């Protein structure tokens, strides 16, 4: 955070209200969280102790998906919506490790992400940018000049909606939002989604939902078939929609996939 905009409400940053970005940073062991985030995170941990595992496995899924897209699918441009606060292994670091010209536009509705964005800026200037915008208004992202400066919509790209759609309630018509984003992608593009579900551990999932209700980012759980519906019209990359530890694991794991109640999948636009 800059010295000029410490936590003034005019910056849109209110340190007294927990946000999903701050709580997720805390789950991952980061240091960019406020006391309000930590208090809310502790309440979630009391209701659903496996949330720390969920955060770690979700992040690993994101990284494996980006590596697959850059290495095996030849994707060079990424629109990462719901970026979160910078941490280890950010999208541009993984993608540029595989393909040096990869470009990433990071988007988050929480102004704290932009305020902490130094780590999201690639040392190679002009290959990443960070914008504050809301997924519920997809045109504000698609029409943003910084998006157009880095993304060529005539070429295949990847849209990442990783652990963000569960923060979009049904009143905002999330299926329309995803359709709008997919319509903007060229054929050969990919959509990556991860999403919490109450299917496998309903009591814990509902405990988590109760705590998030008091934050800036209330949670909506969706069932397997409700998450699957986001991929309508796309072709799944194997293994399809699964609990995230089962999506192309890159090593032995002692995690039981269904204990990680986050579904993840990657779909290709024909």
Name the residues that contact ligand SAM, by CB under 6 A. 19-21, 24, 58-59, 62, 81-84, 108-110, 113, 134-136, 162-164, 167-168, 217
Min CB(178)–ligand SAM separation in Å: 13
Min CB(244)–ligand SAM separation in Å: 10
Contact yes or no for 230/174 (Cβ under 8 A): yes
Determine the residue with CB nearest ligand SAM.
Answer: 84
Min CB(270)–ligand SAM separation in Å: 26
Of 42 and 154, which has the nearer Cβ to ligand SAM?
42
Min CB(93)–ligand SAM separation in Å: 13
Contact yes or no for 215/20 (Cβ under 8 A): yes
As a whole number of angstroms, the distance between CA 269 and CA 237 comes to: 11
Of 167 and 243, which has the nearer Cβ to ligand SAM?
167
Of 59 and 270, which has the nearer Cβ to ligand SAM?
59
Of 33 and 127, which has the nearer Cβ to ligand SAM?
33
Min CB(154)–ligand SAM separation in Å: 25
Of 134 and 228, which has the nearer Cβ to ligand SAM?
134
First to last CA, the chain: 42
Min CB(132)–ligand SAM separation in Å: 9
Min CB(18)–ligand SAM separation in Å: 11
Of 59 and 204, which has the nearer Cβ to ligand SAM?
59
Of 91 and 122, which has the nearer Cβ to ligand SAM?
91
Q: Is 197 left (phi over 0), alpha (psi -120 to 50) or beta?
A: beta
């Amino acid at each position: 955070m800059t010295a000029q905009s410490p936590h003034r409400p005019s910056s849109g940053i209110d340190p007294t209200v927990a946000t999903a970005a701050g709580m997720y940073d805390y789950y991952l062991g980061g240091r960019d969280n406020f006391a309000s985030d930590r208090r809310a995170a502790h309440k979630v941990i009391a209701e659903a102790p496996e949330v720390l595992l969920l955060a770690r496995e979700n992040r690993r899924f994101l990284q494996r998906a980006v590596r697959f897209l850059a290495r095996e699918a030849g994707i060079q441009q990424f629109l990462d919506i719901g970026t979160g606060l910078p941490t280890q292994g950010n999208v541009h670091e993984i993608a540029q490790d595989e393909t040096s010209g990869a470009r990433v536009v990071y988007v988050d509705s929480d102004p704290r992400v932009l305020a902490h964005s130094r780590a999201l800026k690639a040392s190679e200037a002009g290959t990443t940018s960070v914008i504050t915008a809301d997924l519920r208004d997809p045109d504000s992202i698609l029409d943003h000049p910084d998006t157009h400066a880095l993304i060529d919509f005539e070429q295949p790209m990847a849209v990442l909606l990783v652990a963000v759609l569960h923060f979009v309630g049904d009143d905002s018509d999330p299926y329309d939002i995803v359709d709008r984003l997919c319509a903007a992608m060229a054929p050969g593009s990919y959509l990556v989604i991860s999403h919490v579900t109450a299917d496998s551990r309903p009591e814990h999932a509902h405990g988590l939902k109760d705590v998030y209700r008091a934050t800036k980012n209330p949670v909506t759980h969706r069932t397997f078939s409700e998450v699957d519906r986001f991929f309508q019209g796309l072709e799944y990359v194997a293994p399809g929609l699964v609990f995230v530890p089962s999506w192309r694991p890159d090593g032995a794991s002692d995690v039981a996939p269904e204990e990680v109640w986050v579904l993840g999948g990657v779909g290709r636009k024909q």
